[in-house]
Each structure stands twice: as C-alpha cells, then as structure tokens.
Structure 1
Amino acid sequence: MSHRQVLEALSGLILGMFVSILASTVVSSSLPLIISDLKGDQSSFTWVVTATLLATTVSTPIWGKLADLFSRKLLIQIALIIFVLGSAFAGFSQDTSTLIVFRVMQGLGAGGLGALSQIIMADIISPRERGKYAGLFGGVMAVGMVGGPLLGGVVTDAFGWRWNFFLALPIAIVAIILLQMTLHLPKIVKRAVRIDYLGAIFIAGGVSLLLIWVSLAGSQFEWASATSFAMVAGAAALLIAAVITEFKVKEPIIPLQLFKNRTFTLSVIASISIGVAMFGTSVFLSQYMQLARGATPTQSGLLTIPMMGGLLLASAFFGNVVSRTGKWKAIMVTGSSLAVVGLALLSTIHYDTNFWFVGVSMFILGSGVGMVMQNLTLVVQNTTEVKNLGVATSAVTFFRSLGGTMGVSILGSIMGTLVADSIKDGITDLSPENQLEAAKTLGSGVIPHVDELPDAIRVLVESSYGSAVGSIFLLAVPLAIITLIAVAFLPNNKLGTMNAIDLAKKGGSAVDAETEREREIENAEDSLIEAAAATAGLPAVGEAHPVGTRTGSTASVDTRP
C-alpha cells in the first residue's frame, strides 16, 4: 500500500482513537468539580477514574481474542458505539454511583478501541514502517490529551460539566461512517470459534476483587483485617483458577506460552510500570492544579500542556526516527530514563512550587512516556506469530491498563490517607473558630470547593494536597526504574519489513519472515553467480576447480567469481 492508501485506511481508525481520548480526557480537568457537585469523597474520585481503567483492563484481552476470531472492522465499530453511549449516559448522572456505572461502560468500549487499533495497524503496516504511523497515533493521542482537558475546562466554565460528556457524539458518528468507507481488510480464515468464557470470568473477577480491596482498604476497613484477608484470598484463588484455565483451554484469552518469548515477558513488565506513569500522573496532576494551586478547570487544562506536549513531540518525532533508521533500543532506554527523572522531579513539588519547575518536570516525563509507550507494542508485534498477533497486542495493552488501574487505586488510597492525616495535624494550628469551620467543611471527607473556603482553611487544604501529590510521585519512581531495567534487557531484534497480512501467508513472525527473506536473497545471489559462471564457462560456486586441466587447447585456471 502507498502512503496515501495507508493514511486513507487509518483515517477512521485515527478519528475513532481521537474520540476515545477526547471523551476520556475532556472530563479530567473538571473531575474535582464533578465529584464535589455530586457530593463524593476522595474514594469516589479514585473510583470514577479506576472504574474506566478497570473495565478497559479486563475487557482488553477479550477484545484481542475476538479480533483473532471475528471481523476486526465490525468489532472496532461496536467498541466505538459502546464507548460513546457510555459517555453520553454519564452526562445524566445524579450521583457518583451512577457516574461510576457509566464510566465502566466507557471502559468496555475503550478496551476494544485501544487493542483493535493496534491490531489493525499491524495488519496493514510492517514493523519497520509502523514506527512512523505509531508516532502519528501517539501525536493524535497527545493532541486529545492536551486539547481534552483544555476544552473540558472551557466547556465546564461556560456551560457546566455535563456538556463534557456529550462532546464526542458527533465526532463518533463521523468516525463510524469513515471506518465503514475507508477501512478494507481481507476476511480472516474461518475456523471453529471457541471463546474462553471461563477464563474471562476468572481474570475479570480476580483483577476486579484485587482492585476493590486496594481502593477500600484503609478507609472502609483496616488493611490488616479479616475483610482484607478474605478479599485477597478470593482474588488469589480466582487468578490461580484463571492460570489453570488458560493452560487447559484450546483458545485461551491470554496464551501463557507467549511468556516463553523474552521480548513479550519484558515488555509486559515494562508496560505495567509505564501504565502507572501514564495514567497516574494525569489523574493526580489534575487534583494538584485545582486543589493545591487553586486553578480553575480551564487553567488546569492549560497547566498540564507541558506534559502532553512532551508526549506529542516525542511520540511523533521518534516514531519517524524508528521508521527511517530501524533503531529502537536506544530510544526506548533514553525514554525510560527520562520517565525516571521526570517522576523524581515531580516528587519534590509542593503547593507553592514555581510553575516553571512543575512545567519542565512534566515535559520531561511526557517525553519519556512518548518514547516508550508505542514502541513497547511495536517490539512485541515484531516477534509474535501472526496467529497470536491479536492476543499479544491486547495483552501488552491489558498489562499497561492493569498497571495504570492498580497504580491509580493504590496511589489514590495512599493519597486519601496522607491528605486526611495532614489536615488532621494542621487543624490544631488554626484559630478555634476556623477549627470549627474546618471540622464542619472537611469532616465528611467530601472534596471541597477550595475557592469557597476561608483563607486559613484554604491554605491548609492546598498544602495538604500539594505535599500528598509529591509523595505519590515519589512512590512511582521505583516503578519507572523497573521499566528502565526491563527495556534495557529487551533483545535488540531487527524490525521486519512485512505487514501481518503478508506474514500470514508465510506463517511466521516478522523476525522469522525477515530471516527467511534474507535467506531467499542470499540464495538468489548464489543463483545469479552460478548462472554467470555457467555463461562464462566457469565452475559453479562450491565446485572443485582443477588447475592445469585442458578444455580444447586452453588451460583451465582456478578463477572463482
């Protein structure tokens, strides 16, 4: 396919991804206000975010498996419809529980969009060329991440936060039509379809129970309590049952033999930790800007531009570098290092830190994530057999979402504890009348409207959230170091030059096909040499060349081509 044909085929795909990112991020800048209006606390705030990530996480491998069995074009259109309907319904929420339910629906659609877009891109673009287009996807993602919070802030300040949930509807309709018109994929080979329903139930149940425990422990019950032990034991039992099931069924959701591939295993480890950096920072930076710095939703969107700008520039630029040079290892190691540095710098912020320092730190972190995130999927697809391309791609996305979900849950729970302890300690320094007002305003745990608080209480809340967010980023630094180590040990495999459709005819992975291609080229060169030798009356390559024998009156000499 020519560059133009590829862009036409990807146009609906890119627009669908843009809708997904926009609908997800447009509410991020107004989320503190939404939770406050719906009378929610820090736990509700965390769960509104976690619900989407959790649904995305548990549904991603299922979408990936379905992609290996059914029409990928139809599946991505269904995923887009589910996502946008969930977003629209969320706009009518009257309490945090209803909002969480519809955010789960959003997450189910998002799981399909995230996995299927990567799988379809592998169908029509070779690994060597994919870096360029992955950079394009990363750029679109970054534009959505930058524009979403900013647009959401403007809409919230002008019309109210509910309109944020309706913005994606017209764009989604256009994306569905565009997908129908421009995306033309060959029909997959029909075979007996066996969906691993039991494995899906065990995986979803085990991961969900584990995340529910992380979110509720410390607030609803003690970490070391009978309830905690029961939930952890239940989650462990479900996940063990999932592993046993995946070993035995014919069509597992996540084929465990994939972990024999060193590239896949290390990419999964890196994906888990990079997920925390990607999802966690965007969630807690929003709280930092509004609750620790007193920013409006619009200002919050503007203040997070450095991070998304870094992600946009790094993803687009280095994606092109990978396509031009075929070199990816040094880029990913550098990106992982930048992620460590960015998180370390953000761990030092407080409620009165200079904005230029916060901006530089966010830009460094965003650049690091942009250099790593897309390329992790690329290197896995490059070494995976075509028959497992869907599940391998979705598995990397699954573990990245799992890392983000667990990260947001655990860090959110810790943050709630840190903020509560800080406020409790700081109240004693207030005047008696302010102590009564603080107990009345903050005692319920509901996230307050900071700009409506008396000055003394406002400073206390801002200071508490500022120091807590810094502590959260410090806890994320070791995870970023794990990403760096995993990326450093990734095998530096050469990127293939064949897309998945061509590879399906070869029946192997990109690396295998590339080796076969080189062997074919060598054989062709040998054939040409032998043909030239035969034409010149010389022995073929590898044959004996006797010296001094006569053909007619001419002595034959040992002159090998």
Structure 2
Amino acid sequence: MNNYRSHYDLSKNKIIMIMAGLMVGLLVAALDNSIIGTAMPKVISNLQGMEYYVWPFTSYMLSSTIAIILFGKLSDIYGRKTIIIAGIITFVITSVMCGFATNMLELIIFRGLQGIGGGILISLPFIVVGEIFSPRERGKYMGILASVFGLSSILGPILGGVITDTIGWRWVFFVNVPVGIVAVSMLMYSLPNFKLPDVKKVIDYSGIITFTLALSGLFLALTLARDLNTSSLIEIIGLLLFSAVMFALFIWAEKRAIEPILPLYLFKNSIFTISSIENFLASALIFGGIIYVPLFAQEVIGLSATNSGLIMIPMLISLTIASNIAGQIISKTGKYKMLAIAEFVITGIGIVLLATINVNTSPYALVVYSTILGLGSGMMYTIFTISVQNAFSIREIGIITAAMQFFRNIGATVAIPIFGFIVNASMGSQAAVNLSKTEVLTLSIQNIFLAAIILAFAGVIIAFFLKEIPLSEDEPTTQKMPEETVENAK
C-alpha cells in the first residue's frame, strides 16, 4: 500500500467496495440513454406525440449537462458521498416517475428531472477516484470506470429491447430501482465523505441561473435546427442570441462570485483548456460513428436493425479495451501526451476509412473501420481527465473533473445537429442530380465523415500543445489533501 492510499486509511476491501459501488451507480446512468433509445418507439405508440420524439432526450441531456458542473462544485461544499448518494436517490425516484408517465409532456418533464441525477452519476465517480488514488494510480482505475460506458452501449440496446418486448416499456425505468438501491447500500458503507474545509458555503445563484439559461437556449436552438423545414430560422437565431447574452452574463457573474460554479481562472491553465477542447472534439467524432454507421448499415447495405446493432458491438468493445489499456500505460509510464496524440491519429484513420464507404462497402469493412474509430475514441475517457487532475491541486479536483465530462457532453450535443444539418443539406443538393435515394444517402454520410476529418486533424495538432507534467506515484503534484478533509474514512 503506497503512502497516498494509506493517507486515507482505506483497506483493500473497502477500495474494492467503493469501486464496485461507483461502477454500479455509473452503469445506471450510462445505460439510460441507450436503453431508452430502444424503447422509445413503443413509448411513442403508447403515449402518442411523435412530434415530440426528441424532447425526452433533449430535456435529459440539458439537465444532466447543467448538473455536471453545478453538483461537481456543490460536492466540494457538502461532500462527495452526500452528493453522489443524493444523485442515485434522485435518479431512482425520477425513474419511477417516468415509468408512471401518462403522456409525453409528463415524460419530458420527468426525464428532465431524471437528468439531474444522471449528471451527478456520470461525473462524481471520476472525482472520487481522483481523490482516493495517487496521480500515477488513477490511470488504471479511470480506465475501469470509463469501461462502463462501453459496456452500457452494448448492454443498453439489448436490455431495452428485451424488457420492452417482454414486460413493457415502463419497466425500462422501474429496473433502475433495485440497481440504485444496491449502489446506495455499497457506497453508504464504504465511501468516505471527502469535502474541502476551506470552501465557503456560498451558493453562486447568479452563475447557476445564467448558466442554466445559456445552455437552455443553446440546446433548444440546436434541437430545432435539426430540421429547418419545420422550425423557423428566426426562432433559432433568436435562441442562439439569447444564449450568447446569457453566456456573457455568466462570465460577468463568475468574475464576481465568491465561490463560482466554474472558476474562469481554470482556463488560464493550458492543460485544462487543451483537454477541454480535445474532449469536445473526441466526443463529436465518436458520436458521428455511433449515429451514422448503423444508419448506413440499414439504409445502404440493407442490414436489419438487429444486424446493424451487432455491427456496432466490436467498435464499443474496442472503445472499452482502449480505455483500459490507456489507463494501464499511463499508470506504468506516468506520461500521457503521446497517448493523446495517438488517440486522434487512430481516430483520424478510422474517420478517413469511414469517409470512403460507398454502396459496395461490405459489412466486414464497416466493422473494421468503426472498430478503429472505437480504439482511438476510447482513450479519451482516461487521458484528459488524468491530465487535468494532475495539473491542479486537490482543492480543484471536483470542478475540473466535472468540467471534462461537461465538455464531452457539449461535444456530442453540438455535433449531432450539425451532422444532421450536413445530411439534410447534402440530400437536398444531391436530389437535384439524377441519383437513387441510396446513392444520395451514401454521399450525405460520406460528407459527414469528410467534415469529421477536419475535426480529427485539429485534434492531432492541438494534442502536440498539451503540456505534460510527469505523474507522481505518491501524492498530487501540487498539493496533498489535508487530513481533516476526509470524514468517516476509517
């Protein structure tokens, strides 16, 4: 047992229990969207309201993205254990509410509330790992946690289909109850309540309000922009302008806040800024594959929905494996910069290959191309979280770790409607040419991956500017957590 771990006086059995509890809690939230995606057609047929199809996803993504930053900061004040258990309980209660929804409006509202718990659950586990383990050790444990995302992407659609077809779509939500109870029980017993003693218990209300309004405007604009045929361009521009004004007010509020929810001085650190950008880009790239590879498989190659899902499994497995391998390499070498460069090089190769797909592409080639994309993208979850945790003191570990997940969420949120716009624009221009529907869709998807090549290239270039601070085998590079900040550790 090294000095850093013994500083917390946590036994090996307690460490195992903590990791198991964190993984179960993370799995509940990570499974959610992939399970719901499979169940939504049945939900729509039962509750009606096809025109609101995307809104349960949008309301969840909006509230969870806000919760990531907000509760990452509040956990500094009230303790990690308090916030993560509150997050699980919130998620479980709101899951039950979603299961009892009688119309689409109720489901949209309840999903928004559920997203609060979901945002807590996808960020707090990584913060806890950052506090329990030394910078050098974090790599392998971050990789283990990050593998939950790959596992959920594989299990989610399968579980969603089985549950929906056998006992009904409402049980997609009810199943979270026993899993949540297990996670709470494990963490109540094992997890110390880390908190920072020198943080003033002052809530940044101005920051919370302006941040929420800014993101709400952005999310609504991007959701409406997915289809310009049904949404007013003036309405979309108005929402974007509103969002920009709110972001400006948010920055103004944060400069004056005693305990800002997102301290602006963090962006003065080049490692934080570059890691934020790289997380944004990597998330956008992987979601391009997750959304458009199955679409290509079904609509161009002619595979069934089941077989198109099977094509995705190797990519998601490779994502999980790459996350773990990257973590192990970081733990052994204490370095991460070359891995950051390698991530975007491998991802770029996958994107370039996907940009070559055509009506004659075989399913096997599609599996190979998407698997390469998964190998590169999977490294993201480990590399950039560790790089920023290593660049700051324990006092900032909560907010910087939450910020990395925040920029991953934003990357996916911004990329999805932009890719959708590229498809719609491409299909509109190609339709004027004498091409079949399949050929038009193929060219449209090719254009998405051609645009994604630019993002991958930018990721490679930016990675060269990532400053590397060797990871310590003992304590944080800047500041060890004071002993009085760990409550109930024994």
TM surpasses 0.5: yes
The correspondence for 1:219, drawn from 223, 229, 232, is: 229
One-letter amino acid matched to 1:219: N
The correspondence for 1:116, drawn from 124, 127, 148, is: 124
The correspondence for 1:272, drawn from 280, 293, 297, is: 280
Cα distance change, pair 356–262 in 1 and its aligned pair in 2 (3 A): same
Preserved contact between residue 135 and residue 317 of structure 1 (Cα < 8 Å): yes
1:497 aligned onto 2:473:
yes
One-letter amino acid matched to 1:477: I
Question: 1: CA distance between counterparts of 2:155 and 2:169?
Answer: 16
Matching residue of 1:154? 162
Preserved contact between residue 8 and residue 182 of structure 1 (Cα < 8 Å): yes
Question: 1: CA distance between counterparts of 2:365 and 2:101?
Answer: 38
Cα distance change, pair 180–491 in 1 and its aligned pair in 2 (3 A): same
1:486 aligned onto 2:454:
no
Alignment length (residue pairs) = 472
Matching residue of 1:193? 201
Matching residue of 2:451? 475
One-letter amino acid matched to 2:84: I
Query: SS of the counterpart of 1:51?
Result: helix
Cα distance change, pair 108–290 in 1 and its aligned pair in 2 (3 A): farther
Q: Structure 1: which 5+ residue stretches go unaligned?
A: 430-458, 508-561
Identity %: 32
Matching residue of 1:27? 36
Preserved contact between residue 29 and residue 300 of structure 1 (Cα < 8 Å): no
One-letter amino acid matched to 1:152: G
The correspondence for 2:21, drawn from 6, 12, 30, is: 12
Preserved contact between residue 17 and residue 187 of structure 2 (Cα < 8 Å): no
**TM-score, normalisation: structure 1:** 0.76
Q: Structure 2: which 5+ residue stretches go unaligned?
A: 6-10, 485-490
Q: CA deviation at 1:481?
A: 2.4
After superposition, the C-alpha distances for 1:98-157 in whole angstroms (9 at most, x for unaligned) are 443333223222211122111111111111001011111122222122122233233344
The correspondence for 2:83, drawn from 69, 75, 88, is: 75
1:335 aligned onto 2:343:
yes
Cα distance change, pair 318–294 in 1 and its aligned pair in 2 (3 A): same
Cα distance change, pair 122–240 in 1 and its aligned pair in 2 (3 A): same
The correspondence for 2:249, drawn from 241, 252, 255, is: 241
Cα distance change, pair 187–215 in 1 and its aligned pair in 2 (3 A): closer
Cα distance change, pair 262–53 in 1 and its aligned pair in 2 (3 A): same
After superposition, the C-alpha distances for 1:324-375 in whole angstroms (9 at most, x for unaligned) are 2212222221111111222232233356631111111111111111112221
Cα distance change, pair 83–325 in 1 and its aligned pair in 2 (3 A): same
One-letter amino acid matched to 1:171: V
Question: 2: CA distance between counterparts of 1:504 and 1:119?
Answer: 13
Q: Between Structure 1 and Structure 2, whose CA radius of gyration is higher? A: 1
Matching residue of 1:515? none
Which segment drifts farther, 68-77 or 186-195? 186-195
Preserved contact between residue 65 and residue 119 of structure 2 (Cα < 8 Å): yes
Cα distance change, pair 195–156 in 1 and its aligned pair in 2 (3 A): same
Matching residue of 1:542? none
1:324 aligned onto 2:300:
no
Q: CA deviation at 1:309?
A: 0.8
Which segment drifts farther, 113-122 or 341-350? 341-350
Q: CA deviation at 1:471?
A: 3.2
Question: 2: CA distance between counterparts of 1:37 and 1:339?
Answer: 40
After superposition, the C-alpha distances for 1:391-420 in whole angstroms (9 at most, x for unaligned) are 111112112211111112332344455567
One-letter amino acid matched to 1:13: L
Preserved contact between residue 151 and residue 298 of structure 1 (Cα < 8 Å): no
Question: 2: CA distance between counterparts of 1:38 and 1:469?
Answer: 32
Matching residue of 2:74? 66
**TM-score, normalisation: structure 2:** 0.86
